Structure 1
Amino acid sequence: MRTSQQVRPIYITKPDHDRLQQLVQLERHAHGNERVEALSHELKRAQLVNSYDVLPDVITMNSRVKLRDMRSNAELEITLVYPKYADMKSRKISILAPVATAVLGCRVGDTVVWPVPNGEAKYWVEAILHQPEAAGDWVS
């Protein structure tokens, strides 16, 4: 979820987009729309790019990123993964989690906001520690 002030485009690789669209369809069939509503919205507004054309400062699937809490200055490091690979101990966060959906397609320097039980979390994308496409680890 991004605030109305955050109208910057997001970028998603074509292979990620295709896989995520399939995930949305499977989740809708299994659990209904609510669980995938935010991800579906982001996929609709995303600008699609080829894997070999995505800029290295864009958060793609399987990217490891460092976020900075804009209120407390605390650091959060996560890797965006598909649900079956989620592992909290390893900080591998399912793309269906609000934080992962919020940062997908963002760039270093972007501010992201997502719902939490007591309101909203507001973070700054400080760095991408690993992006598969930049490392040459991508699927066309």
Structure 2
Amino acid sequence: MNYNPIYITREDNSKLRLLIAAALHSNATASLQNLRRELDRAAIIDRESIPLDVVTMESRVEFEDLGTGEIETFSITFPDRADVEAQRISILAPIGIALIGCREGQIVSWSTPGGIRQLKIRRVTPAPTEVPHAQLAFTTTR
């Protein structure tokens, strides 16, 4: 560790601390607020009654980026199970929030730093009937 002193002006210190606070606050809170907005507008349906072509937690969704033509397949999962290399994305990722609850054939728009992306949901494979252990641990409240 470097113990040599560094020097920062009061003004720079204030601005840098605001930048850090804004980044820490907005990254986590924005995702949670966006997810809450999506949940607030959702129709709540029993698992047995949900159509098989709806993106749910742990379902696999194949989608096409209408801007690039790229086709990808991911499962939407809880943050502790997210692993891009294993094709599992967190529900808190902007794309996870955008896709949850949507249906095959639907076009979803979402904002990225590079602009608005549009994705067409090509195929949904329902979630396995057995809930992964990590999901049980995440959803249990005791």
1:52-102 CA distance string (max 9 Å, x none): 001001110001110011122110111100000000111110000010100
Question: How far is 1:35 from its partner?
Answer: 3.0
* Secondary structure at the counterpart of residue 39 of structure 1: helix
Task: Give ranges in structure 2 of 5+ residues lacking alignment.
Answer: 1-26, 137-142
SS in 1 for 2:39: helix
Q: Which amino acid aligns with 1:46?
A: A
Higher Cα Rg, which structure:
2
In the alignment, the residues of structure 2 paired with residue 97 and residue 131 of structure 1 have an alpha-carbon distance, to the nearest angstrom, of: 20
Gaps of 5+ in 1: 1-30
Residue correspondence of structure 1 range 19-34 to structure 2 within 5 A: 33-34=29-30
**TM-align CA RMSD:** 1.8
In the superposition, the TM-score normalised over structure 2's length comes to 0.69
Return the match for 1:131 from 107, 126, 133. Answer: 126
**Greater helix fraction, Structure 1 or Structure 2:** 2
Matches within 5 A, 1:1-140: 33-128=29-124, 130-132=125-127, 136-137=129-130
Q: Which has the higher contact order (CA 8 A, sep 6+)?
A: 1
Equivalent in the alignment of 1:17: none
SS in 2 for 1:113: strand
Q: CA deviation at 1:118?
A: 0.7
SS, match of residue 44 in structure 2: strand
Greater strand content: 1
Q: Give the length in aligned residue pairs.
A: 106
State the one-letter code of the partner of 1:124: K
**SS at 2:68 equivalent:** coil
What whole-Å deviation, never above 9, does each CA across 1:108-140 have from its counterpart, x for those lacking one? 011001121211111100001x212xx54469x
Structure-1-length-normalised TM-score: 0.70
